[in-house]
Structure 1
Amino acid sequence: MDVYQGAVAALVPFFVAERAYTYAAASGIVLAASLLSSVAQPLFGAFTDRHPCPWLLPVSTVLGGLGVALSGISGSYALTLLFVALSGIGVAAYHPESARIARVASKGRHSSMGWFSLGGNVGFATAPLLVTAVIATGGLRLSPLLILPALVGSVLTLPVLRALAKTPRADASKGVAEGRDDWRSFIRLSLAVVCRSIAFVGLSTFIAFHVREQTGGGTVAGSAALFVLYLGGAVGTVVGSRLAHRWDRVTVVSTAYLTTAAAVAGVVFVPGPAIYLFVALTSIGLYVPFSLQVTLAQDYLPTRVGTASGITLGLMVSVGGLTSPIIGSIADATSLRTALMPLIVMPVLSWLLFRTLPEPTVPKPLLGEVDEETPPEAESHSAESATENSRL
């Protein structure tokens, strides 16, 4: 599914090349994919909290692929927006339910959720390669071929659905956690995720153009930068889950955000081929928090796992698209480098919001399953947080 989130940004340079869109018009395509997804994803999360819907996995996968596949067949800007919005709805329907199932299957382990997130990041990284291979060969008219991964992915989910159907209802409810929802911490985490999303989606939308300007390369140079941005995310996700075994999640995430600000500055100001290094470092830094923020959100709202997953994933992968037209308008009026400068501040704001968050206690009944992976430092920190919360 995540290949189609990456595909929208990967298609933008081709829309500009074939249809002569401005930066603002091109970023409007990203906005169309993000807007409905941002609004609908928390709604799907709240719904699946009450009514688990495993069948959403194959249906939403096909819907996400169909929207992207249709986006290149019409020269109409309005129809293009409509089709990418359709893809965004598919993305919104997929993530909350898939995160809920992954949490139950992984019994709340950070490393397991990291591997789940890694699959999505690999999909992101594959998107520029897939889009370039198809569209550079025959233009946007070949976009219907992009539905093929969705068809394959939906078929691969069928064995999972059959296995879930055979699971007794008592076992299916085993992953339901007990505890008190910490909405204050969850809201602060969500605001940090918004800042992270603005930085990542803004870079994903314009990095291909920016790298072409800084290196003097063509479309391939821009697609390569987008591939590095997405591939670094796969590395960052694995690194984040590993680090969470040594230190508590809040410490890992806040440190990652603080160091990422310097990497984003390198992307904006460093010219020549060295920019690829800073793109990679930015990607790793922005993705170290990825799966950890999902598990933190779920632990802050242990009785509303679907809602927590829907909001967090929706904000991480969608809400940044709401600001892309603003960045595009600034770029059209001044320069792309000037428009990208505010993105340097976003990881700093995430760090400020994260640095004093409490490490949540591991909710029951996941506690016994997670103990074997929870580092002593995190257990101690969780106990201190529980004591502090009991005083409030």
Structure 2
Amino acid sequence: MAVLLALGSTHFLNDLIQSLIPAVYPIIKDAYALDFVQIGLITLTFQIAGSLLQPVVGFYTDRTPSPYSPVLGMVFTLSGLLSLAFASSYALILVSVALIGIGSSIFHPEATRMARYASGGRQGLAQGVFQVGGQAGGALGPVFAAIIIVPFGQSSLAWFTVAALAAMSLMIWIGAQHNVISQQFAALRASSAAGARGARPLAPTTIGLGLLVLTLLMFSKNAYSESFRSFYTFYLMDRFHLSIPESQMMLFIFLIAAAAGVLIGGVLGDRIGRYRIIWISVLGPLPLTLLLPYADLFWTGILTVLINLIMASAFASILIYAMDLLPNRVGLIGGLFYGLNFGLGGIAAAILGGLADSYDIETVYRICSFLPLAGLLAWFLPRIEDDDPARK
């Protein structure tokens, strides 16, 4: 549990730094006279940089575990943060967010493996603790933007180098625990394997179908979530005439619901199975998303919290479901699905930015309200024996 809490703390600090990027969009949009397409391209650059390397890093660490690689990742993040604080052009902003994305791509695969090693068999709880740190850190970005970055300007981003240095210290300690927890996990896995010798390995077609469906579900979830991370503040300011600090606090409330959602989803996944959680979390928000574009300010706040609470509960189950499909490729799966989380979100941000410029921001939310229909694809997920608690 000490390792899990430390991992959650490093994820908190890592994602806090990342969340400062969309949190400063309203500031840099005015300062550099950017349109919504350019805002979307900033997100796309960050997300692509944070996605392309992750499967490669995961593939490498599956063969050669590198418990100190997250420290190297944080060096890139630190460099990007300082560069963004003093960037004087749109091109430098793109370079800065790319460096932060590269740092994230190095951090996630090995940190995901360590969380699995420290799970003690309760994978949902372990991934929930790890991810709730990231979600909480991401939620605080708008708060810091409202109380620090808006009053003191873009250069105040440099103050958050303290968070990067603290994360590096924790990662060094976590790396030193690698041998102990990996041996404990290997012993637990050997014991579980001895009790399930009769189980047949999954066919390659079953694995391929499962990964394809999980990828499509991830895209629908991330496309909807990205509409809030990148454009929710603009939506609130445009429709309800809120100030930047007010809209940032609304974004914080939305994002903190995700932190609760991932932990709840992880714990419930251990109890009722990943398959059921995926159905509930991806398709369940549909009635709420259809209502959202027509709600007043009060109900907009209520609905966005409920939507994100339910939708965020999917990620731990999707990740663990994928790990169960390929149990010997934990780093690759962690890199692939965290990479997908970045890359697909970036693609969605660029598309939604184009729609916002061509039409308006409210039209974007009407279109996005139908995205949870993609949850019907969960029908095609292969059933995994170990995923059903009643069969364990």
TM-score range, shorter chain: 0.7 to 0.9
Partner Cα separation in structure 1 for residue 82 and residue 146 of structure 2 = 14
Match of residue 157, structure 1, among 153, 166, 171: 171
* Partner in structure 2 of residue 32 of structure 1: 45
Answer yes or no: is 1:378 the counterpart of 2:389.
yes
Match of residue 134, structure 1, among 148, 157, 176: 148
Question: Structure 1 residues 238 and 41 mapped into 2: Cα distance closer, same or farther (>3 Å)?
Answer: same
Cα deviations by residue, 1:286-318 (Å, 9 ceiling, x for unpaired)? 211121111111111112111111111221244
Match of residue 123, structure 1, among 137, 147, 154: 137
Question: Structure 1 residues 284 and 168 mapped into 2: Cα distance closer, same or farther (>3 Å)?
Answer: closer
Question: Structure 1 residues 140 and 111 mapped into 2: Cα distance closer, same or farther (>3 Å)?
Answer: same
Q: Which shows bigger deviation, 72-81 or 264-273? A: 264-273
Give 1:273 shift.
2.9
Match of residue 249, structure 2, among 211, 224, 234: 224
Partner Cα separation in structure 1 for residue 252 and residue 225 of structure 2 = 13
* Partner in structure 1 of residue 31 of structure 2: 18
Q: Which shows bigger deviation, 112-121 or 268-277? A: 268-277
Match of residue 58, structure 2, among 24, 45, 59: 45
Determine if contact 1:23/1:332 at 8 Å carries over to the other structure.
Answer: yes
Number of residues of Structure 1 aligned to a counterpart in Structure 2? 366
Cα deviations by residue, 1:319-377 (Å, 9 ceiling, x for unpaired)? 2111212211221121111123232222211x122134234244xxxxxxxxxxx8xx5
Answer yes or no: is 1:263 the counterpart of 2:276.
no
Question: Structure 1 residues 227 and 266 mapped into 2: Cα distance closer, same or farther (>3 Å)?
Answer: farther
Question: Structure 1 residues 132 and 340 mapped into 2: Cα distance closer, same or farther (>3 Å)?
Answer: same
Query: Which secondary structure state, in structure 1, belongs to the residue aligned with residue 301 of structure 2?
Result: helix
Give 1:81 shift.
0.3
Partner Cα separation in structure 1 for residue 364 and residue 246 of structure 2 = 20
* Partner in structure 1 of residue 106 of structure 2: 93
One-letter code aligned to 1:188: V
Partner Cα separation in structure 2 for residue 234 and residue 15 of structure 1 = 27
> How do residues 202-213 of structure 1 correspond to structure 2 at under 5 angstroms?
202-213=227-238
TM-score under structure 1 length normalisation: 0.87
Query: Which secondary structure state, in structure 2, belongs to the residue aligned with residue 71 of structure 1?
Result: helix
Ranges in structure 2 where 5+ consecutive residues have no aligned partner: 1-13, 194-200
Instruction: Report the RMSD for the aligned CA atoms in angstroms.
Output: 2.2
Partner Cα separation in structure 1 for residue 215 and residue 239 of structure 2 = 33
Give 1:68 shift.
3.0
Question: Structure 1 residues 243 and 141 mapped into 2: Cα distance closer, same or farther (>3 Å)?
Answer: same
Give 1:183 shift.
2.5
Determine if contact 1:359/1:378 at 8 Å carries over to the other structure.
Answer: no
Give 1:213 shift.
2.0
Cα deviations by residue, 1:214-262 (Å, 9 ceiling, x for unpaired)? 3211101220122122101011112212322442211121112222123
Give 1:175 shift.
7.0
Answer yes or no: is 1:311 the counterpart of 2:336.
yes
- Percent identical pairs in the alignment equals 24
One-letter code aligned to 2:153: G
Partner Cα separation in structure 1 for residue 182 and residue 324 of structure 2 = 23
Ranges in structure 1 where 5+ consecutive residues have no aligned partner: 363-373, 383-392
Determine if contact 1:214/1:271 at 8 Å carries over to the other structure.
Answer: no
Query: Which secondary structure state, in structure 2, belongs to the residue aligned with residue 53 of structure 1?
Result: coil
Partner Cα separation in structure 2 for residue 60 and residue 338 of structure 1 = 38
Partner Cα separation in structure 1 for residue 188 and residue 218 of structure 2 = 25
Question: Structure 1 residues 269 and 41 mapped into 2: Cα distance closer, same or farther (>3 Å)?
Answer: farther
